[in-house]
Structure 1
């Protein structure tokens, strides 16, 4: 590729300032890694840039800040020898070129100052070792010691050096290799794939948090199944998500089989990826059937059953999130809720009654649209007639949801009669009967026995109170 092409990549003000600061400090600097890769692939505007200095990255960052008009604040991380500043809407990280050496039990290397070549040698992939000079005498020159340009052309993921050493030194690189394969829709080099299989056991030294970062990036990809199939093939997935591996395989008893729920799950994840960027909804798609493995039973009359797999699966979500040190907050509760309700609209699609729709809207609340998106993604039949029928049924459910919501207003509703009104009407102190009356009002509204209006609910309250032996004050 011509030098002029790469000069265009670094033609903006910030790179000229870095070049000037480098000259003033009498050190070499290069933009390296993802920025160069993504510019060649035309992946859109960069959000972050990595600059490596043959010398002090911290000194370079401070000097760049002095030369910029707004003199942005520099965040210094002395422990790692790095510094970061924000220029307009781009984060720029500066680091000194370094050489790394590893021990068997840690991915955290011993670091010493090094050359640009040393720094490129330590990179995880050839396509991430590409560097562009920011130096005055060869500004814009590409330094590509591992033929990363060819690998980009050929859509190949491989390591700069011996993959066994690269992956054993820092096992997170195995996850990154699979993540980039997924994000870019590339093919992983055969030697790399074999090396990941051989070194999969080394993943145990990586923190759960770092693994989850890579998992999320795989899930956020256009076609997540690429990554999960590679994780399964290499033996990494069974260490991270054994609940998914448990879904793999088909059993046959008396001529009756069930579908392979592992491959079905990956289809669902790919389906939902076409309709939402919400990573937590994608997590719900990934985990929606995990309760099927522990609940699978064979019944001679009806064949294979997975009774209560949604309830069991929702409980498993908590344990899985806790094990992976994922947030045990509203995001986790959302995933649990989606898993728990995942079959409700499917059942509903065969018999769309007002009462069932009211209950679904009440239980799903503000997440009703997310739930419907999940359930539509769950249609993986290859029969075009069935596929069309199921989607048509779900469209009927969506229409009915809209009608019920507009008429009955049951989403996140509270019964129109409050606990205080019940206490006042029957001259009660706080007691169990108040809760019973409120619950009865709610159920009556959801069943369509009374409208979601104060007067009707108040009259119902009086009748219910009488049945419980209470007297109007």
Structure 2
């Protein structure tokens, strides 16, 4: 066999081969498993193509395992799946496909291995390894996929215009593979993505976002976003990000290209964290700069309040991209809103109360916020970068000292809203909110100690100022 299998994989593949031989069905290892094995990348699943009934083969393979795994199958598509020994195996009958203009759902009919390889997206995914007795382990590579792996090239097996028109999601997949593997997209294939970009509109947002997230989780996501931008795909699938591009000059004063700045911040974060949502915060941290951009005489370009406006934009962007509207979105929104705060704390003579407020507002996400701030330093001036990093180190140290003393991150006011209502016989109302916020501010600003006795005394005084009956 042209690839190396570990003991577990060898046992599984042997079972598949024997089951296929008993059914007298030609069967092959195909696609990503073959590609990743040739690249010496880790694998956790395998695709099997059989010239015959894929579901029948899956059931026969399952019988060879103890305990017997469940066979999940989709009769309409002729596909089946089993999960065994922390390894997934997909089965499908070899097929040929034909597409209609306004759909990426093909008309499918049984076919040969050659038909199946012809319908693959890229040459590096069109290789197969025989599991048949006559030529077991032989690599079948009709489109020179192994050579393209060595050349680090993404090329379609057939004419790229046809490949991308048939299934426009393949345009995003080409860019995703180029990003994940650090490959280049062959010249004609890349040109065809630009020519066919409008076809991406027939793809569901969920599928687009799935590919986008895989690009974002790559070792160097900027490769993918640069390709998305240059092919015109990004303007269709994420126009707000394209608005960041370009540097404008007025009276000889320019601002940086915020698109490429954002890509640098994203790469910086990718070097320190695998957290998808922290990477999304990097993408969106300056998203409101186009909306807040102003030129002020004597000052130059300003983006006042872009963190606040950006925070408001996050839920809308998440909804449009079909990203989760839960704590993930709230985490990204929080980091976008707070990303300038640590910078303001790098100045001299910063009070403990300012540090307490940041710790309170960031809560458990303080470390993620600091990583984003450090990634946001993209100056080419090494001394300037070093100065900023030293300043952030000081903010971290001050925050550690204040946190040890005041336990602000997990802090809860000593008197809550319900008790305030009981103390002053108030229904849920605006005065309750005012008293609650005032107490929080007084403790965070160090006006009163963080004790129940001090809080009750403060609330009585504040209630008198607000003319609350019974105060």
Would the TM-score normalized by the shorter structure come out above 0.5? yes
* Number of the residue aligned with 2:328: 331
Cα deviation, 1:285-330, whole Å, max 9, x if unaligned, reads: 0111110011111001211111111121122222222222222222
* 1:245 aligned residue: 242
Distance change >3 Å, CA 29–CA 391, structure 1 → 2: same
| Contact 2:253/2:300, CA 8 A, preserved across alignment | yes
Bigger CA drift: 457-466 or 188-197?
457-466
In the alignment, what sits opposite 1:196?
193
Alignment of 1:272-283 (within 5 A): 272-283=269-280
2:152 pairs with one of 134, 150, 155: 155
RMSD: 1.7
- Equivalence for 2:450: 452
Match of 2:364 in 1: 366
Give 2:300's aligned residue.
Answer: 303
**Could you say which residue in structure 2 is the equivalent of 1:32?**
30
Stretch of structure 1 that moved more, 292-301 or 416-425: 416-425
Question: 1:441 Cα deviation (Å)?
Answer: 0.9
Alpha-carbon separation, structure 2, partners of 1:106 and 1:423:
60
Q: CA deviation at 1:427?
A: 5.0
1:370-449 correspondence runs (5 A): 370-428=368-426, 430-449=428-447
2:14 aligned partner: 16
1:169-208 equivalences in 2 (<5 Å)? 169-208=166-205
1: CA distance, partners of 2:429 / 2:117: 71
Query: d(CA) in 1 for partners of 2:5 and 2:138?
Result: 8
Per the alignment, residue 465 of structure 1 pairs with 463
Q: Is the 8 A contact 1:6 1:142 kept in 2?
A: no
Question: Could you tell me which residue of structure 2 aligns to residue 317 of structure 1?
Answer: 314
What are the equivalent positions in structure 2 for 1:45-194 lying under 5 Å apart? 46-194=43-191
Residues in 2 aligned to 1:172 and 1:5: alpha-carbon distance in whole angstroms? 29
CA contact (8 A) 2:175 2:224 kept: yes
Q: Does the CA-based 8 Å contact 2:2-2:139 persist in structure 1?
A: no
Q: Distance in 2 between matches of 1:469 and 1:241?
A: 52
- Where does the alignment leave 5 or more consecutive residues of structure 2 unmatched? none
Q: Name which of structure 1's ranges 144-153 and 337-346 shifts more when overlaid on structure 2.
A: 337-346
The offset of 1:451, in angstroms, is: 2.2
Cα-to-partner distance string for 1:329-384 (whole Å, 9 max, x where unaligned): 22112111111111111222224331211111111111111111111100001111
- Cα pair distance change 1:251/1:420, threshold 3 Å: closer
Match of 1:217 in 2: 214
Q: Distance in 2 between matches of 1:225 and 1:431?
A: 49
Evaluate the alpha carbon distance shift between residue 183 and residue 433 of structure 1 in structure 2; reply closer, same or farther with a 3 A threshold. same
Task: Number of aligned residue pairs: give it.
Answer: 470
Cα gap change, 1:399 to 1:240, in 2 (>3 Å): same
Shift of 1:10: 9.1
Q: Does the Cα contact within 8 Å between 1:10 and 1:140 map onto a contact in 2?
A: no
Q: Which moved more, 1:415-424 or 1:108-117?
A: 415-424
1:414 CA drift (Å)? 2.4
Structure 1: segments with no counterpart, 5+ residues: none
Deviation track 1:425-458 (CA, whole Å, cap 9, x = no partner) reads 4455555433322211100111111222222222
Structure 1 residues 381, 91: CA separation in 2 closer, same or farther (over 3 Å shift)?
Answer: same
TM-score computed with the length of structure 1 as normaliser: 0.96
**CA 1:340 to 1:187, structure 2 compared with 1: closer, same or farther past 3 Å?**
same
TM-score (norm 2): 0.96
Deviation at 1:472, TM superposition (A): 6.5
**1:81 Cα offset (Å):** 1.1
